[in-house]
């Protein structure tokens, strides 16, 4: 067959592109990113469709999304082709709507004549090309830098050769038969690796019944042990309940101790408050209750109880101080002058008037004495004024302190204390309450000790390791409360665990009542399951045998096709290398090996140069394509940059081989190198069709 032409409405970067091809060599030339790879993908997509779904593991979108037109819809196109028998067809696809239409030469719609795949699309490529998409891309369709086949592709191609004579479109009869037997063995019977298949379930059920049978046998022996344990549990619960009652009473004692501590704190604070109130009231009733310090000092003399006169109110302390200050200045001046004149002759100053020196000697000390007296009176006056002011301030401060103390006492006692007597009354009530609580605490201690001794019950945890009186009276109350709560929680967990164990034992004993009947029932079920297991195991053996026979047959067919494949590859590699390599073979998985032309040693293709390896993989593709299409359609060779690892000599040899052996076969050679175009034109001449993108 050959492709006559393609019409691209929109596919990737290509838009409104129409190309025609000849039957022989077609060289499609264009620089990088001209759309050559996109054009090849369009050809494959037209014959086999585009797969949707999620992105690949490498992050690439699905083919259906990857080739959406860059400029928007339409998304699709058409391809026209002619089979070897001369029948022509037009294949149209709309990838956006996922629709396909096939027309014959008269444009009759023959889409319904094709079989449909899982995606409900017609199998055009499988029917007209005679192979599935994977085989097409592993043989006659060579993408850029993908001339070599990885291990997975080689194995798939080897499997396709085994089914070479299959009439099915995908040509996988042996693989489907093998898959059917494997599926039957796995899903209808089960294997060593399965866990939920019928045989697995039967074996699991048999193991469960055997385990239950052993359990029933052991339960009978355990029944007597359970009865003894249940008796011990009930006795233990009685002891734990008694401990819990004692612990609750200890908790009441701790609360009483806490109340005593709180009462003692209140007592101490009220006592201190009462003491301070007494001191304040004494201070308020002490010296200078109504007047100033001058009245107290003079004992009522010098105007005690007398209101100040108008003159005193008018002049006040300030006017008296001014007078004294002026007098003091005069005395100081007189003393200074007398001191100077005492040592200066009288006639030098007063002329004929002579004043005796002793006059100056007498005036000077008199002036000094008067100045000292004035200074003392002024100091005493200032002191009296300051003391009078301080006395009024202290009285206000003491009264405010008294009110604050009464407010604090009211908050402590929860009463409205208006005087020291109210505070003292509240203090007496607290002391009475403390005495009552102390008696209650001691009585409670005696009661707990007596009950523990009478019932022969040990106190829980820490309370059993020390004297209870010592712990309650002398321990820190916060630590004691925390310890009590911890012991109570521990005791309650013990009671709960013991009660649960009691219920468990009682439940086990109740279940054991039908133990004998269940034992007989289990034995009957075990026999039935064992019979079904034997039947499935025999079926599994038969399926395994059939699978072994099929595998052996496939191996024989593979061996029978190997000589032809190796012969074809050897002929092709000889033509591609100009006779340098003449023996190329593939093992069971089509891993290529060649005989060294000089040493004769067999070498793996992976150790050869890149160009030589590409030549050998090209030989493998051409050989398998020839075998798979033998008697069917001669498919076009689609090759993209297949000579990228070749030098000019190897490229020339390859083109000459293709011209010599596949002159009448359609070849679509994509290249970005003008040298390859020139070589092809030299070899094919006017038989070459040139398309430039």
CA distance 494 to 240: 8
pLDDT at residue 502 in the model? 86
Tokens found for residue 390: 């301080």
Question: Can you say how many angstroms the Cα of residue 584 is from the centroid of all Cα atoms in its chain?
Answer: 56
By three-state DSSP, how is residue 19 classified?
Answer: strand
Task: For residue 67, count CB atoms less than 10 angstroms from its CB and return exposed for 0-12, middle for 13-18, buried for 19 or more.
Answer: buried
Rounded mean pLDDT of 90-109?
A: 94
For the stretch 17-69, pLDDT in tens is: 999 999 999 999 999 888 999 999 999 999 999 987 777 666 678 888 889 99
Backbone angles phi, psi at 484, to 5 degrees: -65, -45
E strand spans, 557-660: 584-586, 592-595, 602-604, 637-640
pLDDT at 393: 74
Q: Percent of the chain at pLDDT above 90?
A: 20
Q: What structural domains does the chain harbor?
A: 2-148+634-692 (3.40.50.300), 278-301+315-416 (no CATH)
Distances from the Cα of 563 to the Cα of 148, 554, 557, 597, 613, angstroms? 21, 15, 11, 20, 21
Q: Which residue(s) pair with 10 in the sheet?
A: 15, 76
What pLDDT sits at residue 18?
95
590 vs 96, higher pLDDT: 96
What does the pLDDT read at residue 506?
82
Which of 589, 587, 597 has its CA nearest to residue 566?
A: 587
pLDDT of residue 315: 44
User: What is the bridge-based pairing of β-strands 25-29 and 667-671?
Assistant: parallel
Instruction: Reply yes or no on whether the pLDDT at 304 is more than 60.
Output: no
Listing from the earlier edge strand, what are the strands of the sheet with 637-640?
141-142, 637-640, 667-671, 25-29, 689-692
Residues 6+ apart with CB under 8 A from 546: 181
Answer yes or no: is pLDDT of 637 > 80.
yes
Q: What 3-state DSSP class applies to 61?
A: coil
DSSP SS3 for 425: helix
pLDDT tops 50 at residue 169 = no
Query: Would you say 129 and 633 are in contact if contact means Cβ atoms under 8 Å apart?
Result: yes
User: What's the whole-number mean pLDDT along residues 579-601?
Assistant: 80
pLDDT in tens, 134-161: 888 888 899 888 888 877 776 666 666 6
Q: Are strands 14-20 and 2-11 parallel, antiparallel or unpaired?
A: antiparallel
pLDDT at position 688: 93
554, 559, 560, 564: CA torsion to nearest 10: 130
The per-residue pLDDT for 403 is: 77
Q: How confident is the model at residue 514, as a pLDDT? A: 65
Sign, CA dihedral 45-48-53-54, equals negative
The candidate with the shortest Cα–Cα distance to 19, out of 52, 46, 57, is 46
Asked whether residue 286 carries a pLDDT value surpassing 70, the answer given is: no
pTM across the whole model: 0.49
pLDDT of residue 682 exceeding 90, the answer is yes
Q: Which residues of 509-522 are buried (b: 16+ CB within 10 A; e: fewer)?
A: eeebeeeeeeeeeb
CA 634 to chain centre: 58
C-beta neighbour count of 686 within 10 angstroms: 6
Which residue in 189, 67, 58, 168 sits closest to 115, CA to CA? 168
- Strands of the sheet containing 584-586, edge to edge, are 584-586, 592-595, 602-604
Q: Which of 260-269, 598-607, 648-657 is modeled with the greatest confidence? A: 648-657
Judged against a pLDDT cut of 60, whether residue 74 lies above it is answered with yes
Residues 6+ apart with CB under 8 A from 612: 577, 581, 605
Alpha-carbon radius of gyration of the chain: 61
Euclidean distance between CA atoms 22 and 635, whole angstroms? 14
Q: For 116, which DSSP code?
A: B
H/E run at residue 92:
strand 88-94
Over residues 396-408, the mean pLDDT reads 77
Confidence (pLDDT) at 73: 86
Q: What share of the chain is helix, strand, coil (3-state, %, to 5)?
A: 65, 10, 25
Instruction: Extract the tokens encoding 446.
Output: 């005696």
Give residue 155's pLDDT: 66
**Tens of pLDDT, residues 528-568:** 888 888 777 777 777 666 656 555 555 555 555 677 788 88
Identify the three-state secondary structure at position 16: strand
* Lowest mean pLDDT, pick from 25-34, 303-312, 445-454, 642-651: 303-312
Element (H, E) at 390: helix 357-413
Nearest to 522 by CA among 221, 197, 207, 200: 207
| C-alpha–C-alpha distance, residues 498 and 501, integer Å | 5
What's the whole-number average pLDDT of the chain?
A: 79
pLDDT on residue 289: 44
Beta strand pairing status for 637-640 and 141-142? Answer: parallel
pLDDT by residue (tens digit) across 454-481? Answer: 877 777 667 776 677 888 888 888 888 8
More confident residue, 309 or 432: 432
Answer whether 540's CB lies under 8 Å from 200's CB: no
Instruction: Give the CA-trace dihedral at 407, 413, 415, 418, to 10 degrees.
Output: -40
HSE-CB at 327 with a 13 A cutoff on CA atoms is 17
Beta 592-595 vs 584-586: how paired, if at all? antiparallel
Q: Does 322 have pLDDT greater than 90?
A: no
Query: In this predicted structure, what is the pLDDT of residue 586?
Result: 80
Give the model's pLDDT for residue 156: 65
CB atoms within 10 A of CB 282: 10
Q: Which residues are 518's β-sheet partners? A: none
Distance CA 383, CA 386 (A): 5
pLDDT of residue 686: 92
Q: What angle in degrees, to the nearest 10, is found between the helix axes of 151-162 and 515-576?
A: 90
Cα–chain-centroid distance for residue 240?
46
Percentage of the chain with pLDDT > 70?
75
Confidence of residue 307 (pLDDT cuts 50, 70, 90): very low
| Residue 556, CA atoms < 13 Å, CB-side half-sphere | 6
The C-alpha atoms of residue 111 and residue 100 are separated, in whole angstroms, by 8
| Cα dihedral 66, 70, 76, 82 in deg (nearest 10) | -90
Q: What is the pLDDT of residue 312?
A: 43
178's tokens? 């093998």
């Amino acid at each position: 067959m050959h492709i006559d032409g393609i019409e691209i409405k929109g596919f990737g970067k290509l838009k409104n592109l129409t190309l025609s091809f000849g039957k022989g060599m077609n060289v499609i030339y264009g620089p990088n990113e001209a759309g050559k790879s996109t054009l090849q993908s369009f050809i494959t997509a037209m014959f086999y469709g585009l797969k949707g779904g999620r992105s690949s593991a490498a992050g690439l979108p699905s083919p259906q999304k990857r080739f959406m037109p860059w400029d928007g819809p339409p998304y699709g196109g058409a391809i026209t082709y002619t089979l070897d028998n001369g029948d022509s067809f037009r294949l149209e696809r709309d990838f956006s709507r996922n629709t396909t239409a096939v027309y014959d030469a008269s444009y009759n719609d023959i889409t319904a004549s094709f079989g449909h795949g899982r995606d409900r699309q017609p199998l055009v490529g499988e029917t007209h090309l005679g192979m599935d998409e994977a085989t097409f891309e592993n043989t006659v369709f060579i993408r850029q830098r993908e001339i070599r086949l990885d291990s997975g592709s080689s194995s798939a191609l080897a499997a396709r050769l085994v089914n070479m004579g299959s009439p099915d479109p995908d040509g996988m009869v042996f693989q489907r038969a093998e898959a059917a037997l494997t599926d039957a063995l796995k899903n209808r019977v089960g294997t060593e690796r399965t866990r939920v298949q019928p045989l697995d379930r039967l074996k699991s059920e048999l193991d469960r019944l055997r385990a239950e049978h052993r359990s029933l046998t052991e339960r009978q022996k355990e029944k007597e042990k359970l009865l003894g344990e249940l008796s011990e549990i009930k006795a233990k619960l009685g002891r734990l309940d008694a401990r819990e009652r004692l612990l609750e009473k200890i908790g009441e004692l701790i609360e009483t101790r806490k109340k005593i501590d709180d009462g003692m704190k209140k007592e101490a604070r009220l006592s201190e408050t009462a003491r301070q109130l007494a001191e304040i009231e004494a201070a308020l009733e002490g010296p200078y209750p109504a007047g100033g310090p001058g009245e107290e000092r003079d004992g009522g003399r010098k105007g005690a109880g007398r209101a100040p006169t108008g003159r005193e109110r008018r002049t006040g302390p300030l006017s008296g101080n001014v007078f004294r200050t002026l007098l003091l200045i005069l005395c100081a001046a007189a003393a200074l002058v007398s001191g100077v004149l005492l040592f200066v002759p009288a006639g030098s100053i007063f002329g004929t008037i002579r004043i005796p020196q002793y006059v100056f000697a007498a005036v000077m000390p008199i002036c000094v004495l008067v100045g000292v007296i004035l200074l003392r009176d002024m100091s005493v006056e200032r002191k009296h004024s300051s003391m009078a002011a301080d006395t009024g301030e202290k009285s206000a401060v003491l009264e405010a302190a008294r009110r604050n103390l009464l407010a604090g006492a009211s908050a402590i006692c929860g009463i409205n204390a208006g005087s020291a007597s109210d505070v003292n009354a509240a203090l007496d009530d607290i002391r009475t309450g403390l005495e009552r609580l102390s008696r209650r605490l001691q009585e409670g201690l005696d009661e707990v000790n007596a009950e523990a001794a009478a019932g022969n019950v040990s106190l829980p945890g820490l309370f059993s390791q020390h004297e209870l009186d010592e712990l309650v009276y002398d321990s820190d109350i916060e630590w004691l409360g925390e310890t009590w709560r911890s012991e109570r929680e521990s005791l309650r967990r013990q009671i709960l665990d013991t009660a649960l164990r009691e219920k468990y034992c009682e439940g086990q004993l109740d279940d054991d009542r039908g133990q004998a009947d269940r034992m007989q029932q289990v034995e009957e079920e075990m026999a039935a399951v064992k019979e079904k297991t034997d039947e499935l195991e025999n079926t599994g053996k038969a399926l395994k045998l059939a699978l072994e026979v099929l595998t052996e047959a496939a191996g024989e067919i593979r061996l029978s096709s190997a000589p032809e494949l190796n012969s074809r590859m050897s002929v092709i590699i000889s033509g591609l290398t100009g006779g340098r390599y003449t023996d190329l073979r593939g093992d069971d998985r089509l891993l290529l090996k060649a005989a060294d032309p000089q040493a004769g040693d067999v070498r793996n293709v992976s150790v050869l140069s890149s160009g030589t390896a590409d030549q050998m993989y090209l030989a493998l593709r051409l050989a398998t394509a020839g075998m798979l299409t033998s008697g069917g359609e001669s498919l076009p060779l689609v090759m993209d940059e297949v000579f990228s690892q070749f030098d000019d000599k190897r490229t020339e040899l390859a083109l000459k081989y293709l011209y010599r052996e596949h002159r009448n076969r359609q070849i679509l050679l994509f290249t970005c190198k003008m040298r390859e175009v020139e070589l092809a034109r030299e070899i094919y001449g006017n038989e070459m069709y040139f398309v430039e993108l």
